[in-house]
């Protein structure tokens, strides 16, 4: 019975075969377009994440440099003078008014 239905389908007429073929082609095209759209969105997300990674790596590098500077005695002295207003022994501090 299955052989007969297959035979009838292919011999029934070219109109039915064309309709089935067109439906299959349209379905394939729609599927391909959807996949391209999804692929494009994913590629855009990957680019955004790569930019974020690059920014975080730069920020991480800056933090590492700051940590290295905290081990430098000259930099520590600079921070103590600038932030805390400390002076060396024997130095004089002059404060000027803004008048």
Tell me: the pLDDT tens digits for 24-59? 999 999 999 999 999 999 999 999 999 999 999 999
CA 30, 35, 37 angle in degrees (round to 5)?
A: 95
Within a domain: 87:
no
- Residue 12: which region, alpha, beta or left (left: phi > 0; alpha: psi -120 to 50)? alpha
Within a domain: 77:
yes
Q: Is the pLDDT of residue 13 over 80?
A: no
Verdict on whether the full-model pTM lies above 0.85? no
Within a domain: 96:
no
Within a domain: 75:
yes
Within a domain: 89:
no
Shortest CA distance to 16 belongs to which of 29, 5, 1, 28?
A: 5
State the residue range of the domain holding 58. Answer: 2-82
CA 78, 79, 81 angle in degrees (round to 5)?
A: 65
Residue-level pLDDT at 18:
86
Within a domain: 26:
yes
44: tokens are: 């855009």
Within a domain: 99:
no
With residue 94 as reference, give the H or E element that holds it: none
């Amino acid at each position: 019975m299955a052989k007969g239905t297959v035979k009838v389908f292919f011999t029934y007429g070219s109109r039915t075969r064309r309709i089935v073929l067109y439906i299959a082609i349209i379905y394939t095209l729609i599927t391909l377009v959807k996949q391209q759209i999804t692929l494009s969105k994913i590629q855009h997300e990957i680019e955004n994440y790569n930019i974020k990674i690059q920014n975080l790596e730069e920020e991480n590098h800056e933090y590492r440099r700051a940590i290295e500077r905290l081990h430098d005695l000259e930099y520590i002295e600079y921070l103590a003078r600038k932030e805390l207003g400390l002076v060396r022994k024997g130095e004089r501090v002059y404060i000027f008014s803004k008048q």
